[in-house]
Structure 1
Amino acid sequence: MDGPLEDDFGREVTGVRVSLTDRCNFDCVYCHNEGLGDTRGPMEPDDNEMTADDVVRFLEVVAEFGVGKVKFTGGEPMLRQDLEEIVRRTPDSMEASMTTNGTFLPGRAADLKDAGLERVNVSQDAIDPEAFAEITQSGAYEQVVEGVTAALDAGLAPVKLNMVVFEHTAGYVEGMVEHAANNDGLRLQLIEYMPELTGHPEWNIDIGRVHDWLDDLAARVEHREMHNRTRYWIAGDDAEEPIDESNGGMVEIVDPVENPNFCANCHRVRVTHEGYLKGCLNRTDDLRSMGEMSRDEIRETFRETVANRVPYYGEYMVRNDDGEWIVNDAYLTRSTSAD
């Protein structure tokens, strides 16, 4: 096994995020890829989606380069009925995790755990059913709650709840924080809204205000230098001092916008459901097809993708005079000239 590949900015690539489908049974108002395709339930992959063999072949190849983590995403990855097979066939050297909306976890969480899934993130943007329905354009609140319970029962703790913080959800942050603090096995990730992905800058809120509120509320605060993230430990109603992970709720803010440390310490590349490698969520100009998925093609494409990564999307993306995020043509010109 070779060591991890390193890009031109000194970042080793040790993880991959693999989208298994662009279909989703939710239609969240903030999502840059709204619910698409046939979403009746788990089914075989669509013609434009990688097969289980394609996914596994890719993972086996990048494992040769020291990639030790894979996160399966979508769309909604659990719309793939072969998800358990993919997880089971993931190389033993890789930690397998998943981001899901949780609606299909009841009845499948235990099988996924048995197949080798180690962690799960569940998207939950409100603790109130009506608010949840408004944000996700679905009536699946109870299914999501049952899905979180199923994941905990299956031994996938801690379950991270992902909540995007923007105009529509800001009023529900307090309730979600209390929910995480008072329920064992839950962690809460408050994710900064990225208006450049959705085209609605007017929905943005000042994430700094959330930091300040949590700083006042928390019994203990930790700072993670790697991604310049802050973790807040919130005491539950019955918690006793000192507060730690055994008796408190952990809330972490993921704030990539204007945070150079976030991208400077990114060690992941992404794979689209169609089998294209890309160096960053925010880029679509660097898509590289893995062809017919031969191992040699995957190796070469993986090397090219790592070599083409950008240092920080604050250089790749800039604000225009109206405050909107746009591609920085000057950066692209410099990159092309450098090539």
Structure 2
Amino acid sequence: MLTDEFGREVTGVRVSLTDRCNFDCVYCHNEGLGDTRGPMDPQNDEMSADDVVRFLEVAAEFDVDAVKFTGGEPMLRQDLEEIIERTPDQMEVSLTTNGSFLPGRAEALVDAGLERVNVSQDALDPKDFAAITKSGAYDKVLEGVEAALEAGLDPVKLNMVVFEHTAGYVPEMVDHVAENDGLQLQLIEYMPELTGKPEWNIDIQRVHDWLEERADEVEHREMHDRKRYWISTDERSSSSDDAGGGMVEIVDPVENPTFCANCHRVRVTHEGYLKGCLNRNDDLKPMGEMTKPEIREAYREVVANRVPYYGEYMVKNGDDEWEVNDKYIGEYAEI
């Protein structure tokens, strides 16, 4: 297993299979690349199934034990089942999707080896959902969640980005997962530095404080120094031993050195570039013609050059404001 100079082992990879998406979410940052949603037809710049599998086989050589497939919308890849089936056995396979294509495919994905799924769902009202996602697929997403549960992907984790447009729906969404077996909720802090709309930001600590008061139990996770809040209703009592709903977790990376210090992932763009940090695009590393020796070399280099974004790449100045560390300016100018 490879370790960067900050002692962070790389145990997982996130692989973007496409930048295409049938939604147009207002907060999209496309794995840190910006909202570059492409046309719906397959594109020549996307890694082939063989390319993806070849990369994963190399990652497995370095004891990576988890892969999450993302996009864009990864289910626009008609070869997704093939890719999952060919993923090395040692890797836990998960998927982040908008859920609209899960009806009719969830069972096949599980048969191929899919173990976990995250479904983006930012509101429980069709009109509000449409305003955020620019999509009329609300009912199809609900069907997709049910299809995932029926196929054995239990729990299904709902992803909700928390910003000005959605913050008012957080209590309703928390109640939703508390009342429904098989659902969990991941509240994701809005990242204004990736979307260019800082006016949409809210103080995520307010959400933490509200959940702290509401929760029956608070669990601390080492990964990214996260907290999990276990929520019950009058009709249903939850605990950390319950594999069903009632669990709410906050992902809060913004200006958070502790979060970055616990990052154990490397990312791959749909075009086949390795990426050591979500927030950076000056560290993109091509994998050449995707031969295994080229992949190994690129992977080693990207891991070696990983740095915590907050606390190292971004540091506090004398005015207690974040600024880029001069040490890293121009380091990847040739890429």
| TM-score normalised by structure 1 residue count | 0.91
Which runs of structure 2 are paired with 1:187-226 in the superposition (5 Å)?
187-226=184-223
Once the two structures are superposed, what CA deviation does each residue of 1:222-268 show, in whole Å capped at 9, x if it has no partner?
A: 12244221111110341147675257500011111122121111111
- Tell me which residue corresponds to 2:120: 123
- Tell me which residue corresponds to 2:328: 332
Amino acid at match of 1:179: H
Amino acid at match of 1:9: F
Matched, 1:23 2:20: yes
* Residue aligned with 2:108, SS: helix
CA contact (8 A) 1:235 1:243 kept: no
* Residue aligned with 1:270, SS: strand
Cα distance, 1:242–1:300 mapped onto 2, change above 3 Å: closer
Matched, 1:60 2:46: no
Once the two structures are superposed, what CA deviation does each residue of 1:91-115 show, in whole Å capped at 9, x if it has no partner?
A: 1111111100000000000000000
Matched, 1:313 2:310: yes
* Residue aligned with 1:298, SS: helix
Cα distance, 1:49–1:320 mapped onto 2, change above 3 Å: farther
Q: How big is the shift at 1:166?
A: 0.4
In structure 2, what is the Cα distance between the partners aligned to 1:274 and 1:334? 23
Matched, 1:78 2:79: no
In structure 2, what is the Cα distance between the partners aligned to 1:259 and 1:269? 18
Once the two structures are superposed, what CA deviation does each residue of 1:114-162 show, in whole Å capped at 9, x if it has no partner?
A: 0000000001001111110000011110010000000000001111100
Cα distance, 1:317–1:242 mapped onto 2, change above 3 Å: closer
Amino acid at match of 2:170: V
Once the two structures are superposed, what CA deviation does each residue of 1:252-302 show, in whole Å capped at 9, x if it has no partner?
A: 111111221211111110000000001011111111111111110000000
- Tell me which residue corresponds to 2:87: 90
In structure 2, what is the Cα distance between the partners aligned to 1:23 and 1:259? 30
CA contact (8 A) 2:155 2:244 kept: no
Partner of residue 145 from structure 2, selected from 125, 141, 148: 148
CA contact (8 A) 1:277 1:302 kept: yes
- Tell me which residue corresponds to 2:38: 37
In structure 2, what is the Cα distance between the partners aligned to 1:143 and 1:63? 35
Cα distance, 1:158–1:29 mapped onto 2, change above 3 Å: same
Q: How big is the shift at 1:329?
A: 5.0
Cα distance, 1:63–1:179 mapped onto 2, change above 3 Å: same
Cα distance, 1:259–1:149 mapped onto 2, change above 3 Å: same
Q: List gaps (5 residues or longer) in structure 2.
A: none
- Tell me which residue corresponds to 1:252: 249
Percent identity at matched positions? 74
Matched, 1:132 2:133: no
CA contact (8 A) 1:239 1:248 kept: no
Q: How many residues align?
A: 328
In structure 2, what is the Cα distance between the partners aligned to 1:201 and 1:315? 22
Q: How big is the shift at 1:14?
A: 1.0
Cα distance, 1:205–1:281 mapped onto 2, change above 3 Å: same
Q: How big is the shift at 1:37?
A: 2.4
CA contact (8 A) 1:103 1:140 kept: yes
Cα distance, 1:318–1:244 mapped onto 2, change above 3 Å: same
Amino acid at match of 2:303: V
Amino acid at match of 1:99: T
CA contact (8 A) 1:315 1:331 kept: no
Amino acid at match of 1:289: P
Residue range with higher mean Cα deviation, 308-317 or 174-183: 308-317
Once the two structures are superposed, what CA deviation does each residue of 1:71-91 show, in whole Å capped at 9, x if it has no partner?
A: 000000000000000000001
- Tell me which residue corresponds to 1:233: 230
In structure 2, what is the Cα distance between the partners aligned to 1:281 and 1:5? 19
Amino acid at match of 2:155: P
* Residue aligned with 1:235, SS: coil
In structure 2, what is the Cα distance between the partners aligned to 1:329 and 1:241? 45
| TM-score normalised by structure 2 residue count | 0.92
In structure 2, what is the Cα distance between the partners aligned to 1:143 and 1:248? 21
Aligned residues: CA RMSD:
2.3
CA contact (8 A) 2:10 2:265 kept: yes
- Tell me which residue corresponds to 1:264: 261
- Tell me which residue corresponds to 1:101: 98
- Tell me which residue corresponds to 1:11: 8
